[in-house]
């Protein structure tokens, strides 16, 4: 089989399974409304949970940062790309989240890949929740360590796997709020199981930071758990992009020596770091509290209304409210029907989710209004008939 034949066969297989991914060009995809061409849709596909991507303080901070630092960092943080803006953001995050150090990464995917690749060796074992994000599972499968998966949120099975003999160290991997189901991990039970075997816990709290917990400090803070390794990303509740790893001082020093994604990547623009610091100031303010309360109210309204429809929902209390449809073609058909009614939702299909669990991944944000939720529920009622 030639290269081209291999590529064509893979694409044909995706098309036959109604699983081919395509991108859609939009004029604006992060706010209450999404504009495509000349049509405006109510946007229920954005991860901008608090509506901070368009917050005037955050926008102004990025502009001021660009005026001071320019639009690029100029290099890796190990060369010339680590500025006072980066340091200020790292110091803020470490103090706010209760860790010795924070290290910035260009994306959450890069942070997870870097952590797992730098920490694990051939004698080690990674024990990951089966529904962990692709960035975690891919990094684990590519590492020299043994990978074992435990049933979703099953602390008992995790404990049983940790009890099996292991020559090296064991790393437990999970998410705070799961990106496709929207439910939360039992972090207290998972951490206790890890600690009984002197293992470390890595929590990716991409969908919790800014949105849950006191001051928006995330899922770990809301549950009173301090994992040894905490990854927070900035493209969801924080409204920008990038990520940080929170850890001890010695782990931070180790990652600065051995995390290749950190060493060999151009650091984020300093202006972005300035904007992120402004976003975290909003998150910690009365405005941030009001946005979280408004989002919680909208989530409650949606779950009360959708419970009467012939649709399968998950146990999610987060901004992620998936509706499990089952087959790929039905998920695509429902998404298309909703778009015809001015509602923008995304059909999520395998391999992103398990076969037979294709879904509409609805996301609610503080930018929505109660009338938007009412319109969504009415459209779902029509689409599910």
Do 224 and 98 fall within a single domain? yes
In contact, 240 and 30? CB cutoff 8 Å = no
Q: What is the mean pLDDT of the chain?
A: 95
> How far apart are the C-alpha atoms of 111 and 204, rounded to whole Å?
10
Do 241 and 291 fall within a single domain? no
CATH of the domain at 373: 3.90.1150.10
Do 71 and 41 fall within a single domain? no
> How far apart are the C-alpha atoms of 101 and 161, rounded to whole Å?
31
- Number of domains present in the structure of the chain: 2
Of 283, 307, 333, the position where a domain reaches its end is: 283
Do 272 and 312 fall within a single domain? no
Do 350 and 290 fall within a single domain? yes
Do 132 and 254 fall within a single domain? yes
Residue 319 domain-assigned (yes or no)? yes
Do 230 and 344 fall within a single domain? no
| Averaged pLDDT, 274-303 | 98
Confidence of residue 381 (pLDDT cuts 50, 70, 90): confident
Residue 293 domain-assigned (yes or no)? yes
Q: What is the pLDDT of residues 300-353, one digit of tens each?
A: 999 999 987 888 888 899 999 999 988 888 888 999 999 999 999 989 888 888
Do 37 and 70 fall within a single domain? no
How is residue 76 annotated by DSSP? B
Residue 9 domain-assigned (yes or no)? no
Do 201 and 333 fall within a single domain? no
Do 172 and 247 fall within a single domain? yes
Q: What is the pLDDT of residues 48-89, one digit of tens each?
A: 999 999 999 999 999 999 999 999 999 999 999 999 999 999
- Contacts of residue 346, defined as CB under 8 A and 6 or more positions apart, other chains included, come to 45, 335, 360, 361
Tokens (6 digits) for 222: 């809301």
Residue 62 domain-assigned (yes or no)? yes
- pLDDT recorded at residue 63: 98
> How far apart are the C-alpha atoms of 258 and 260, rounded to whole Å?
6
Least confident of 240-249, 270-279, 345-354: 345-354
CATH of the domain at 186: 3.40.640.10
Of 249, 283, 317, the position where a domain reaches its end is: 283
- pLDDT recorded at residue 29: 79
Residue 182 domain-assigned (yes or no)? yes
Among candidate residues 51, 152, 28, the one with its CA nearest the CA of residue 363: 51
> How far apart are the C-alpha atoms of 279 and 59, rounded to whole Å?
9
> How far apart are the C-alpha atoms of 47 and 30, rounded to whole Å?
7
Q: CA quadruple 102, 105, 108, 109: dihedral positive or negative?
A: negative
Tokens (6 digits) for 153: 């949120």
pTM over 0.75: yes
Of 252, 283, 314, the position where a domain reaches its end is: 283
> How far apart are the C-alpha atoms of 208 and 227, rounded to whole Å?
14
| Averaged pLDDT, 149-160 | 98
Do 236 and 310 fall within a single domain? no
Residue 343 domain-assigned (yes or no)? yes
Catalytic residues: 47, 133, 175, 179, 204, 207, 236
> How far apart are the C-alpha atoms of 352 and 170, rounded to whole Å?
26
Domain that holds residue 293: 25-49+286-383
Residue 221 domain-assigned (yes or no)? yes
Residue 16 domain-assigned (yes or no)? no
Q: What is the pLDDT of residues 182-228, one digit of tens each?
A: 999 999 999 999 999 999 999 999 999 999 999 999 999 999 999 99
> How far apart are the C-alpha atoms of 278 and 54, rounded to whole Å?
12
């Amino acid at each position: 089989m030639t290269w081209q034949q291999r590529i064509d066969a893979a694409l044909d297989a995706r098309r036959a399974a109604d699983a081919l991914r395509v991108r859609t060009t939009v004029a604006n995809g992060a706010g209450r409304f999404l504009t495509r061409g000349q049509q405006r849709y109510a946007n229920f596909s954005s991860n901008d949970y608090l509506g901070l991507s368009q917050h005037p303080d955050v926008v102004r901070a990025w502009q001021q940062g660009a005026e001071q630092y320019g639009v690029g960092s100029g290099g890796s943080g190990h060369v010339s790309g680590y500025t006072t803006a980066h340091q200020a953001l790292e110091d803020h995050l470490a103090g706010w989240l209760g860790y010795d150090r924070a290290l910035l990464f260009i994306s959450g995917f890069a942070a997870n890949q870097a952590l797992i690749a730098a920490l694990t060796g051939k004698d080690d074992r990674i024990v990951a929740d089966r529904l962990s994000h692709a960035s975690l599972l891919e990094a684990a499968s590519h590492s020299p360590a043994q990978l074992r998966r435990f049933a979703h949120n099953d602390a008992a099975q995790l404990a049983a796997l940790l009890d099996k003999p292991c020559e090296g160290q064991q790393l437990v991997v999970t998410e705070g709020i799961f990106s496709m189901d929207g439910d939360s991990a039992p972090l207290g039970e998972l951490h206790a199981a890890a600690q009984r075997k002197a293992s470390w816990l890595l929590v990716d709290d991409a969908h919790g930071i800014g949105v849950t917990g006191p001051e928006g400090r995330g899922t770990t803070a809301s549950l009173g758990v301090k994992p040894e390794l905490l990854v927070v990303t900035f493209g969801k509740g924080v409204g920008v992009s990038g990520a940080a790893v929170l850890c001890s001082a010695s782990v931070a020093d180790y990652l600065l020596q051995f995390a290749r994604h950190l060493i060999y990547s151009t650091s984020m623009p300093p202006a972005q770091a300035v904007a992120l610091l402004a976003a975290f100031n909003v998150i910690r303010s009365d405005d941030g509290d009001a946005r979280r309360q408004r989002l919680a109210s909208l989530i409650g309204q949606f779950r009360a209304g959708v419970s009467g429809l012939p649709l399968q929902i998950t146990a999610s209390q987060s901004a992620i409210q998936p509706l499990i449809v089952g087959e790929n073609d039905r998920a695509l058909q429902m998404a298309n029907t909703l778009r015809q009614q001015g509602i923008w939702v995304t059909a999520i299909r395998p391999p992103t989710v398990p076969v037979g669990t294709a879904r509409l991944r609805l996301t609610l944000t503080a930018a929505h209004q109660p009338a938007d939720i009412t319109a969504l529920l009415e459209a779902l009622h029509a689409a599910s008939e």
